[in-house]
Amino acid sequence: MDYVVGMDVGSLSTDAVILDRQGGIAGIGIVRTGASSLRAAEEALDMAVSAAGLGRSDLGYVVSTGYGRTGIPFSHRAVTEITCHARGACFLFPDTGTVVDIGGQDSKVIHVGPGGRVMDFTMNDKCAAGTGRFLEVMAEKLQVGLEDMGELSNRAQGEATISSVCTVFAESEVVSLVARDHPTEEIVRGIHRAIVGRIWGMIRSLGPKGELTMSGGVAKNRGVVAMLEELWGRPVQVPEEPQIVGALGAALIALDQETQPGE
């Protein structure tokens, strides 16, 4: 087969990436997962297939990743997001040593070695603080769009302090700030500070390595990226479509399979 597929079935969104044998991206599909991972996977794949101008029969090996990776009947193999993000990030930025993925439900920091292989990793998967969920909750409290938070934050003159480690307590802090008419952009900046603080702690616990590449939806937030860069001390690498890094990594693993079959 001339094409392979990587699917990332997350709790919030489902992405599909189709690669050709040279590793070029032929088509992408992104949909909201909604209540059915399987339906979302079919939809995302259809979208990618039609973007690529192909048919289903052109597709070879399929690797799935993400929360719903094992529920996809047309997937040949399930691989964790850790391995896939490492692979995908390295493909896009070959000098990547550290991958920071801030997803909707969890966040991870991964040390990658040659070829994008995982050397070490740490995950925050028990607590909303430090994930996209934290930002969603706060954005709703502040009545701002998630996509506007980056700009607001970078515009702020000052910064409010959110001291709680817990999302629930932090939320009530934000409510008090709003009640006191504190400027929204300063609160947003404070929220970004809180999430970056958590991520930075995870990065430090592994130790810095190589260049830093971000993936996951939150990487689109320029406010968060700017704060992380301050701490990292130099620019961090952000793909154009950070959300599809996992699916891309899965597709690359599928490509390995297609070109060198048998593990």
Partner 1 sequence: MRAFQALRYRVMKDLGAPALMAAARFKARRRPRRAPDPNMGAPLKCGGRLRELMTRHYLLARYAKGAMPVAWVTSGAPVELLRAFGFYTVYPENHGALCGAKGMGADLCRIAEEEGFSQDLCSYARIDLGSVMSGKTPVGRLPRPDLLFASNNICQTVGYWYNVLADRWNIPLILLDTPFNVHGGPDEASVAYMVRQFEGMIPTLEQVSGRPFRMPTLKDVLRISKETADTWGEVLGTMKARPSPMTIFDAFVHLAPVVSLRGLPAALDYYRILLAELRGRVARGEGGIREERRRLMWDNIAIWYKVRDYSTLFAEKGLNFVTATYTNAWAETAVFMDEARPFESMARAYSRVILNNDLDYRLRLMEQMIRDYQVDGLVIHSARSCKPYSVGQYDLKRLLMERFDIPSVIIEADIADERAYSEEQARTRLEAFFETLGP
Partner 2 sequence: MPMNPFQPPPRREYLDRKKKEGLGLIGVFPGRYPREVFWALGALPVEIWDPPLALSASGAHLQPTICSVVKSGLELILQGQCSVLDGFLFPHTCDSLQNLGSLVSDYLDVGKPCLEFYPPKTSDGTEARVFFRREVERLFHALEPLYGPVRPDAFRHWVARSAELSRALASLYTLRAQGRLNASNVEFYRLVRALEFMDPDDLLPLLTAFVNEREVPAPLGSPAIVLSGVLPGPWGLLSLLDDLGVRVADDDLIACGRRLPGIAAPEQEPMDAVTESYAGMPPCSTINAPLKERKSRLWDQVQKTGARGVLFNIVKFCEPELFAYPVLRESLKKRGVATLLVEQDGNREIPGQAATRLEAFVEMIRQDFREGGSR
**Minimum distance from CB of 109 to partner 1 (Å)?**
12
Task: Tell me the closest approach of the beta carbon of residue 209 to partner 1, in angstroms.
Answer: 15
Write out the DSSP string of 178-229: HHTT--HHHHHHHHHHHHHHHHHHHHHHH---SEEEEESGGGG-HHHHHHHH
Number of residues engaging partner 2 in binding (CB under 8 A): 17
| 125 in contact with partner 2 (CB under 8 A) | yes
Cα separation, 90 vs 86, whole angstroms: 6
Site map (CB under 8 A) of partner 2, residues 46-85, x = contact = ---------------------x-----------xxxxx--
Q: How far apart are CA 100 and CA 186, in angstroms?
A: 25
Picking from 105, 66, 61, the residue whose alpha carbon sits closest to that of residue 85 is 66
User: What's the burial of 138, exposed, middle or buried (CB within 10 Å: 0-12/13-18/19+)?
Assistant: buried
List 123, 144, 146, 226, residue binding partner 2 (CB under 8 A): 123
Instruction: State which of residues 205, 261, 262, 263 lies at the interface with partner 1 (CB under 8 A).
Output: 205
Query: Which 182-201 residues touch partner 1, going by CB under 8 A?
Result: 201
User: Whose Cβ is closer to partner 2: residue 93's or residue 121's?
Assistant: 121
Contact partner at residue 67 from partner 1, partner 2, none, CB < 5 to 8 Å by partner kind: partner 2
